[in-house]
Amino acid sequence: MIEPIFTNDAIVFGILMTSLGFVFYTEKIKTGFWHKFYKIVPGLFMAYFIPALFTTFRIISPEWETENAAGEVVKNSSQLYFVSSRFLLPAALVLMTLSIDLKAIFNLGSKALIMFFTGTVGVIIGGPIAILLISIFSPETVGGSDFDAVWRGLSTLAGSWIGGGANQTAMLEIYKYNPAKYGGMVIVDIVVANIWMAILLIGIGKKKKINKWLKADNSAIEELKEKVIKFTQKVKRNPSLTDLMVMLAIAFGTVGFGHFSASYLSAFFSDIVSSLTSQTWRNIFSFLDSEFFWLISISTIIAIILSFTKAKNYEGAGASKLGSVFIYILVATIGMKMDLNQAFENPGLMVIGIVWMTIHALLLIIVAKIIRAPYFFLAVGSQANVGGAASAPIVAQAFHPSLASVGVLLAVFGYAIGTVGAIACTILMELASTL
């Protein structure tokens, strides 16, 4: 990890904000090159991709190593993603959920859940199929013995791609993959998951054509969007300084309470989970001791409660727009984590990850075609599995800010089934590796 040109987070944040400003400014140009460019490439994708380029060319970096005066290697990291995911993301979810119409969300029907579970099944069967396919051409890539067995390492990917970080850690604990080789799996996780997210973002720019090909019934989503738009127009006003300060108070007051509650709840459930006699059950419920899980859950629940109060009217003062600002900052910091050079560090494992994700994607497309599910359900159902609570709302709000909460609700559900699904996937991968 070579030291980048800029390591000061204040400077890096300035670079990220400048890149976001560039994207928004050029996206609004209605003539010439940029107008044609953004007809093909969505602005949200560029907000993600430009920071990735900066990282790839070592202008900035999420992590790097330096050597101190004693000759010791010191690992350094940027705190921007942590701040964005732990402070700005839950604040954005609060602001975007204030105007939620819970009844209309439920009226979206069963297709959202069907596509979510399809994504889960795609990950469960994708791993073993990838192992079988790669073993034909390169058996050593999927080999290994004892705790160096590749299937053990891939179990951590299954945990991450169905649930999240807590589930990934649980799988590492269950199957005891060699910690010295675990970093290679993390790289595959980051690179493949982010490439897939980039593809989904590009697809959003072509959602009308995709929905037409899927013969999708998009009426429930459009109805929800229209209801939110009409409500926004009804309560719309020029935001005063008081409005802005109250909205920030609601958002970050909730985030503060979320952190406070999450610390106690995670400790409480950690004691309960650790007291379980069965190792299997301890790992299945390991997500309950994740502070991030409780932070997102509590923030969303409070926001839903507030949506039944007069706080809902702050949508007219631009609550969801303010939330979108925070989301785009998060997008930039996620893009910053993507180093395209890493794709070439372990090509064998990377191919497994790409084949695995391709199977996940193909299954989603086939089921979406069969049940005529809109691209929204395909994209969000996938990200609720693969990306979790950090990226599912990003993809959802790209369709409309009012839809961000759909991504959150599905992602939280993913945490709950992540370890069980990953164990099922790992059993199949172990069998596939012995054939």
Confidence of residue 408 (pLDDT cuts 50, 70, 90): confident
- Asked if 93 and 303 count as a contact pair (C-beta separation under 8 A), the reply is yes
SS3 annotation, 202-223: HHHCCHHHHHHHHCCCCHHHHH
HSE on the CB side for 51, CA within 13 Å?
A: 31
Query: Inter-axis angle of helices 150-162 and 111-137, to 10 degrees?
Result: 160
**Could you give the CA distance from residue 336 to residue 196 in angstroms, rounded to a whole number?**
16
Residue range 45-90, pLDDT digits in tens? 899 889 989 999 999 999 888 888 777 888 889 999 999 989 998 8
Residue range 137-148, pLDDT digits in tens? 888 888 777 888
Contacts of 127 (CB under 8 A, 6+ apart): 154, 157, 158, 356, 425, 426, 428, 429, 432
Residue range 343-402, pLDDT digits in tens? 777 788 899 999 999 999 999 999 999 999 999 999 999 999 998 777 888 888 888 877
Give the pLDDT score at 132: 93
Give the pLDDT score at 280: 67
